Each structure stands twice: as structure tokens, then as C-alpha cells.
Amino acid sequence: MTIARVALPVPLRRLFDYRVPDGHPPRPGVRVRVPFGRRSLIGVVFELAETSAIAADKLKTAQLLDAEPAIPDSALSLLRFAAAYYHHPPGEVAHAALPEALRAGRPVEPAGLESFMLTRSGRDAEAQLPDRARSQKRLWERLRAAESVVAEELDADFPGWRPVMARLNARGWVRRTEHQPRFPAAAEVASAPALNPDQRRAAERVVQAFGARGRFLLYGITGSGKTEVYLHAIAECLARGRQALVLVPEIALTPQIVARFRARLSLPVAVFHSGLSARERHRAWSAARSGDAGVLIGTRSAVFVPLARPGLIVVDEEHDPSFKQQEGFRYHARDLAVFRAATEEIPVVLGSATPSSETLANVARGRYTRLELPARAAGASLPRVQLLDLRRLPAADGIARPLLDALAARLERGEQSLIFLNRRGYSPVLLCSDCLWQARCPRCDARLTFHLQAARLRCHHCGAESARPEQCPNCGGGKLADVGAGTERLETALRHRFPSARVLRIDRDTARAPGALEHRLGIAAQGGADILIGTQLLAKGHDLPNVTLVGVVNADQGLYSVDYRAVEHLVQQIIQVSGRAGRADKPGEVMIQTLAPDNPYLADLVAHDYDAFARRLLAERRAAGYPPFAHFALLRAESARERAGLDFLRQARSLGRALAQSRGIGVSLFDPVPAPMERRAGRYRAQLLASAERRNELHELLTAWLGRLDDEPLGRTVRWSVDVDPLEMY
Ligand code: ADP
Ligand code: ZN
Ligand code: ZN
């Protein structure tokens, strides 16, 4: 008897056994539909077996959905590895790796693109359209205005179009066609600049590694020409008949990268990210899997997309925290990309101006080869960086005099300025000046942020909203004061101070509507604003060649965070945002406001010495026994009941300690503690840190330990999860 061991989308860390036809057993990677309790689920065959722990007469039968594996072997190994490494239910891992259409059981090949056009008689039909038939008229006009119209466009903006189309069709006025679209490629490849010697050396090292393993850090400041090196290596990869996978942090922020790749590469470039429709994602996935697309550019989840002929993986901005999924299946796409490249026996290039501590440690250990681009390709110089000591300089509306003066000078010269503040809203604290009451979220251990335009108090952690009270709800009298500044307050203040300046704010509040972010970034890049104010949304993404001043309003947020990673992320963000500036012939200037101008990390920033910063950071991490010199896993538990999460974690710790001791595994389990923000959305959260010097020991313990916790009755009373290599410690 053949048994298929199936990964099903249920939150259990195991596979499920089903009977499959003996004569033609499926290969692993085939999708099946199976009965599961009262439901019918779609899963992926992970393994085949001869026997099962389940009695033969109890085994149910799986219905095969694919003749050939939907997920080819190498992609399947990646899923197995990811499930094991992150100790996550394999069915949820497989689910995350498949486009929606495949999860729903549809064929691997996407349906063709459906489009409609008017026939000749349809073109002359205007007079025959009854006046009452308004929607027919509207659809007819839509068709007349274009060569042809794609069904998906109509789905988006012409609700209920199908019956209307059917009526036009019944009279012979429209023709329907279906075809498989190709992803665009350059008809004529745009010419590439001749690589400078550093770029050439870097590109050659990567090309020499083709067909074998090779792990590279491409380390070069913004504008040093990293993308040119990728393009060169990718073109070479395509010329050898292989495909390339390119991972980027966020495509919405960098639409130019796709255009640049398409202009320069002769084979189709497919794109894969969450902003696309399910059909578009299905098409991109399928084109990569079949080999029709030469290049797949995508965000985090693109790391799972199968390639018919893999040749190269590039991870751009490898330090970016958005490569780590922060909920559910908490994987790190960069780390999986490195694993994938090894199993596919192809090179991987991690590119960054500010490499992560992990990657730098891997370079130091000789595991990665460091390729460096030390200078800006187009010859622009580095911006001058200056600290503004907020202890001495009075700051009106959160901005100190020298920064205001510098802003005024830019306005006079017609240059752009960028003000960076990672805090949206008007003010983060609403305070009663009499009794010191503060507006707090009723469901979280957090203050409410006042949003001026919406005139609401909002919780940035759970989304709770309320009206701003007229008077202090505590003492009834008292004047309510807005303390501290967010981007909205800066915007208000700067508009007031520079009435003739065009001020543009870019944060999650102004970029909520679909397309709004791209629109605003476009305005910014084209010089349609004088002062840009924004959060990290503005720090990544577009080049802003006309920006010659960058102001960092509050560097201290990151310097004194409870999160040991905050400094690393802050410095990376500041360098990233500064890199947007002064790329052309105009030198840039960066001003960083701080209450701690003596902080050595800031000194490294002023000196443009990311290497010195990284050495300092790594020395501190080593001394503290933190990653990358230790390996962490965080067990989180939450419950609506106050002590429940902590109680569970205490029990988990005793269990884990006993296991570690009896098996001689070197893992420290720390005391369970409430999360830094204990209550969030009405739930009490607690966490337990596991730390090991050796990665395999951590995993050995986790495997045994989580298996036991899965059976622990107390575990069913709370919601708990494990985060391997956590990026955020709260
Ligand atoms: P990065 O990816 O490191 O930010 P890019 O590859 O985007 O850098 O290069 C920055 C700018 O310099 C781009 O406008 C690019 O066209 C230009 N550039 C890169 N390499 C060269 C080169 N070798 N010669 C001339 N211009 C170059
Ligand atoms: Zn009061
Ligand atoms: Zn809240």
C-alpha cells in the first residue's frame, strides 16, 4: 500500500497520512484533495511511505490534483527546510508558498487573459442602443474608446459588467478572445554603462561562481552602482540559459527597478508581490516555474517561487527588516534565499549599503565573500553629516534653529529638503496639565496618538479610535496639551513657518488609498514639492536627486529602545535616507537632532564609517551574548486572562530545562517575562527567550520541546507561537 504524507493548511506541526492509488503513486509536490474531519482540504504531498501508524481501514483516500508535481523537488526541499527550521506547521508553510489559485485547487497553468473588443457592426451600433440601457451604453463607450478591454480591468471598475457584456454579445457586437500574456522584455536592450573596475571585479566574481555555490555580500553605498552589477550578472545568467530570482524589500516603493530591469534584459521579467491581483501572482509564479520568465523580481514570498532553470539569486537591501515576516509563519526571506541557493547549487548575492550584523558576521567567519564598491558610480560626493544637540538648541515645534535655517536656504535656492521622523500623527501624548492624566488606549499598554486631520485619538497598536475629549476626563478641568511631535505636526508647523513652500507628507496616513504612495513618491521625485516630510516609507525607495538637505528629527528613539536591534535599524535607516540626497552634482547635507550627541554610534554616522559602526555593534553583541554570536528563539504566549501566558511559559520553561538537562543540550531558557507592551488589543502577552551558542542545539531542543508543548493541556488555554531568529523582541 502506498501512503502519501500530506501537508495540510492546519496549525499542527505534522503531516497527515492518506492512501493513494498503488499503480501510479504521486510524486512529492503533487497537490491532493483530502477529507479532513468534516471538511475537504487541499494539501501537498511531502513524502511517500509504505506504512502508516493509522490502521489501514481507517485511512482515507486522497484525490490527486496534479499529474506532475505542482511544486518541483528543489522548491519542495526549501519548504521542508523552512518548516523544520522555523518549527512551523508544514501545511501552513506550503500554503504560504503557493499562489491563491493553486491553494484553491486550480490548474498550475493560469487561465488566459480574457479580452473584449467591438466587432465592425458593434462599432456602428450606437444608434441601436436603447436610451434606457444605460449600462450597455456605458460599456459600449468603454469598448469604443480602446482597442480592446481586459476582463480584469472591468472587474476592477465596472461592477456587474458580465451580464451587460452578454447582451452586447448576443447582438454580435463584441468579440471575446483569450490568450496567455507574455511578460514584457526589452525589444531592443538599452545600452549599459561600462562598468568601473570595482564593479567589473564584483560582477566577474559572481559570474565565475555560476553553476556552483557561492555567497557574496555586495557592499556599496547608495549610488555606488550595485544595481549595475546585478544587471550585468543577470544578463550573463540569462545568456547561459538560466533564470534569476531577485528579492527586493518593497516593490511599491521602487517601481523603477522593474522598469530598469525590463529595459535592460532581453528576456521577460515577471513580478511577484502582494500588491498584485491573485491572477497576476498566479501568472508570474507559473511563468517562473515553467521557465517562460527569465527573471522574477519579488518581495519576501517570492523566495518560494519555483524556477525551471535557476542560475542566480540576488537579495537587494539584504538588511531590510521587511524580509522577515512578523506574524504567522515567521520566516526570513534572505536566510531562506541563502539556503535555497545552496541546495540549487547556484550563487547568491546579498547587496546593501548597510549590511546586517548577521551578514557581516558571516563575512568575518569567511562564509561569505565580500565584494566592495567603495565610491559612488556617478561621482557624487557624500553628504556632510552634522549632529544638532537638542540639549542646547531650543527647538520650536520639534525643529532646532540650524535645521530651520538650512530649510530656508534650500527654499531660497529652489532645492528640496527631506525631514525624517518615524512617528506618524500629530502628537503622541495628550496630557492634562493639571492632573497629568494622559490619553491611553483602553485595550493596550500604550498612549493614544492624536491625529489632527481626522480629529481622532488613535492607538497605533490595535487601531482603537476615540474622540478627543474637550476637557480632562479625570479632573474635569485642566488644559489638555499635545506633547511631542509626529509627522502631521511637523507638516502643520512647517506650512505655517514657510507659507509659500510646497510641503508634502508621506507616511502611512497619507498613503492609505491604493496608488497614493506611488503618486506621492512620484511628485517628490519630480521636484513637485519643496519640503518632504516622512517616515521610513520615504527613507527607502525613490532617488530624490534634487534633495540636498536631510533632517533627522529624532535619532534618540532608536538609540534608547528596549529592543537590542533598534540601533542597527536606526543607523541603517538614517544612512538609507541620507543616501536619497545629493546624488547629482549638488552635495547633500544631513542634520541629525539628538539629546545624546556623544553617542559613539552617532559619531560613526558623522564619519560615514559604517564599518566602524558595525565593529562596535558586533563587539557589543559578542560581549552581551546576543546574535549573531548566539542563536535566539522567542516563545510568545498571549491570553485575554492576565496571568495565563506567563503561567504557560513557566511550565514550558520547566519542561524545556528538564529536556535540555537530560539530553545535555546547551540552551539557556530565560525567565518568562511580560512583553514590553504587556497588553495589546485586550490580550496579555508574555515571552520566553531561548538562547544557544550552537544553532543545531537550539533546534534539537526546539524539536523535542515544542512537540511536548503541543500536547500540553495548559497550552490549549493560551495562544502561543515560536519565533526563530526573532527580529523584534516584543
Ligand atoms: P545602487 O544600486 O548602488 O544604488 P545604481 O546601480 O543604481 O547604484 O547606480 C547609481 C547611478 O549610477 C545610476 O544612475 C547608474 O545608472 C549610474 N551608474 C552605475 N554604474 C555606472 C557606471 N559604471 N558608469 C556610469 N554610470 C553608472
Ligand atoms: Zn486632569
Ligand atoms: Zn490599542
Please identify, by atom number, the ligand 1 atom nearest to the C-alpha of residue 316. Answer: 2
| pLDDT at residue 584, rounded to an integer | 61
Q: Which of 198, 226, 227 to mutate to test the pocket of ligand 1 (most atoms within 8 A of CB)?
A: 227
pLDDT of residue 440: 96
User: What would the pLDDT profile of 676-690 be if each residue is shown by its tens digit?
Assistant: 899 999 999 999 999
How confident is the model at residue 516, as a pLDDT?
Answer: 87
The kind and range of the H/E element at 3 are strand 2-7
Site of grid cell 506574524: 327
Which ligand has the shortest distance to the CA of 448?
Answer: 3
For cell 503561567, the residue is 647
Contact, 195 vs 228, CB < 8 A?
yes
Please tell me the predicted confidence (pLDDT) of residue 514. 80
Give the Å distance between the CA of 482 and the centre of ligand 2: 13
- Kindly give the distance from the C-alpha atom of residue 434 to the centroid of ligand 2, in angstroms, as a whole number: 5
User: How confident is the model over 28-45, as a mean pLDDT?
Assistant: 97
Contact 223 CB / ligand 1 (< 6 Å): yes
pLDDT at residue 378, rounded to an integer: 64
pLDDT at 361 over 80: yes
Q: What is the pLDDT of residues 40-70, one digit of tens each?
A: 999 999 999 999 999 988 999 999 999 999 9
Q: What's the CA angle centered on 146, arms 144 and 150, to 5 degrees?
A: 110
pLDDT of the residue at 380 = 63
User: What is the reported pLDDT for 381?
Assistant: 72
Q: What share of the chain is helix, strand, coil (3-state, %, to 5)?
A: 35, 25, 40
| pLDDT value at residue 587 | 77
Distance 326 CA to ligand 3 centre (A): 18
Tell me the whole-structure pTM to 2 decimals.
0.90
Q: How far is the CA of 679 from the centre of ligand 3 (A)?
A: 8
Give the residue, 18 or 516, on which the prediction is more confident: 18
Residue 589 and residue 578 in contact, taking contact as beta carbons nearer than 8 Å: no
C-alpha cell at 474: 479625570
Q: What is the pLDDT of residue 557?
A: 79
Structure confidence at residue 24 (pLDDT): 82
Average pLDDT, the chain: 92
pLDDT at 459 over 80: yes
In this structure, what C-alpha cell is assigned to residue 223? 549610488
Residue nearest to atom 25 of ligand 1 (CA): 193
Question: By percentage, how much of the chain surpasses pLDDT 90?
Answer: 77
Residue 319 Cα to chain centre, angstroms? 11
At 175 the pLDDT is: 94
Q: Cα–Cα distance between 331 and 329 in angstroms, integer? A: 6
Q: 535 CA distance to ligand 3 centroid (A)?
A: 21
Q: What is the pLDDT of residues 266-286, one digit of tens each?
A: 899 999 998 888 989 999 999
End-to-end C-alpha distance for the chain, whole angstroms: 48
- The set of cell numbers assigned to 39 is 471538511
Q: Is 354 in the pocket of ligand 1 (CB under 6 A)?
A: no
DSSP 8-state class, residue 324: B
Measured from the Cα of 228, ligand 1's closest atom is 6
Residue nearest to atom 23 of ligand 1 (CA): 195
- Say whether pLDDT at 588 is over 70: yes
Reported as a pLDDT band with limits 50, 70 and 90, residue 395 is confident
Of ligand 1's atoms, which has the minimum distance to the CA of residue 224?
3
Residue 379: predicted pLDDT: 61
378 lines ligand 1 (CB under 6 A): yes
The mean per-residue pLDDT over the stretch 167-173 comes to 92
- Convert the pLDDT of each residue in 310-326 to its tens digit: 999 999 999 999 999 99
**Stretch 383-388: mean pLDDT, rounded?**
92
Q: Closest ligand 1 atom to the C-alpha of 373? A: 3
Q: Tell me the C-alpha distance between 730 and 727, whole Å.
A: 9
* Residue 305: all three cell numbers together: 517561487
Ligand nearest to the CA of 473: 2
**Ligand 3 centroid distance, CA of 446 (Å):** 7
Point out the ligand nearest to the CA of residue 472. 2
